[in-house]
Structure 1
Amino acid sequence: MTDTRGTDPSASWCAGRPAGESRLSDLLETLLVDSSGGLRSVGELRLAWPGVQLLRFTGPEITVAGSQSGPVFCFAIRGHLHTTTPRRAFVPGPGWGFAIATGVQSGLMALGGNEFRNHLTLSVELTQECCRRAAYDIVDGLDAPTLQADQPDGVAAFPYGPELRCALGRFVQALGDERSRRTLAPLYYEEIAHLLFRVPEVRPVFTSALRDAGQADPVHQAVRYMRENLTANITVTDLAREVSLSPSAFAHSFRASTGTTPYQYLKRVRLEAAHTMLLSDPAASVSDIARTVGYANASHFISEFKRRFRVTPGELSRVHAG
């Protein structure tokens, strides 16, 4: 018998099984059974998490999706979704979802369901704070070029594969009991945001939430200051002064947004800038690059670089020099 003590019950959600439609739809169907053993009514079922609901239909049905609080992502788990905007018609097949920008309301046509095999769509709203954390983790702030593209209709269709299905399954399963909902569900919610942010079709829909969150955001301003002043000896006090906050208030705000300290984030920005420089010019002097990104001591720079990238700057240069 396998000993599962001390393990995460949802960690093996996809283990040994295909992460396709049947696994996730089977899990969602368990939520449709009420306390008496019968099926809940057709329509919307709100799950035990703000902004998350399951849509169930037995035939073609129009549902309106969207929120003023954050972008909404509708995953067609069984069946498929269509919609039409003033600029275009979206007619994707099964295995696709829709991303709807903050403040946009979109009518979605739910298709592919009948009395015996219901249409199932999982709708997940992401908060602006969650979107912002995903952006900081993946692209180092809100001013990256990848965030400049916009989605004119505020709606985008996107394919989603096994990785996102597994994340959705872990999240939904964690909502099933109070302890997991309190401890594990927040982690899986963040995981879904990170995975969505990596989908090219979805990323523009994040921009309105990110731009709204980024206006006069002290963390955004501080990250920009770091990137524009890599050679300077930057302290937390310097950054706090730049954004007109006390050092303690700034440090608290920065950690809440990025999950790390200003010092650790600055070190990451410097090392990643050095990594980019070495890839673009393998013949460049390691000492010169160290100084360019704010390291006065080349030995310290080499040590930090190896700790982050598992290779020394010299080894990386030799590999890419051919």
Structure 2
Amino acid sequence: MVLRAWPLEGIGEIRPGDDLAAIIVDHLTEPLEAGDVVVVTSKVVSKAAGLATAGDRDSLIDAETDRVVARRGQTRIVRTHSGLTLAAAGIDASNLEAGSVIPLPRDPDGAARDLRGRLEDLAGVRLGVIVSDTAGRAWRIGQTDIAIGASGVAPYLSFAGVEDAYGNLLAVTSPAIADEIAGTAELVAGKLDGQPVVVVRGLPAAWLDSDEGAAALIRDDDGDLFGLGARDAVLAAVSRGELPRGFPVADEGDDLLALARAGTDLSLADVTVAADGSLEVRALSEDGAPEAHVEAGALAERLRILARALRREIVIAVVSD
């Protein structure tokens, strides 16, 4: 396979209501050919849709967040309503007027379908479209572009059941080709050159004409082994609560006692802060009922686990009246 990829130069500022497909066609240096894939950054798709706002960034993140995956200080990794897991819900303030922020397209696959249809009408050939955005990777430094929307391009290939060159039967190998195409486009366009559209040519025909969309790349909650960061997994488990939806107001200052109490039968045990700042866990039973002492021991253990997860230095004592 030999690929060609090149950015479109001179596109300039995209404004609400702009016909993005017409702008792309106007800036082509050569006609689009059947099988070409046009990669467009989510930023210009959102700009054309009029999604930029001068509103409060945290409020916008709140609106775009389904649940928090992990947090550390002011950094929050969240799952958006469209299923993407991104820092700050993908809300961005770069390449915008001062004081403005912009969210991702509401329906990235829908945006890719609409843009593809309009481009095909103008160009007169079958095309693929990828809407890309920049994302970090767990365990690795740096970011790379991924496909958050796709139309006319297979999001991934499945080699399950295929033998490799040594006769081994493959089970889970699935190259995420839409992400790889998005990454290729990012390399060609450059991060700081103001080139939001790239044409990629030479992809195999078998990879094209798919309507599955990039949403197929998103693992559901049941299939995601890393649906919470380590700290947040501890909080969810110890507090015995459902996965929190929406944008949390608590951060590193989470109330340790409130979190521990959330998983405790407070009719049997409770915790108070002593004069020296230590935590005193007490069984609440006038007749020495064993279940109260069991609950007090469990509460003390939850406090120890939470303190470790939240990186707190505390002293815990189980006391009796």
Shorter-chain TM range is under 0.3
Q: When the two structures are superposed, what TM-score results if normalisation uses the length of structure 1?
A: 0.24
Q: When the two structures are superposed, what TM-score results if normalisation uses the length of structure 2?
A: 0.24
Question: Over alpha carbons, which structure has the higher Rg?
Answer: 2
- In terms of fraction of residues, the more strand-rich structure is 2
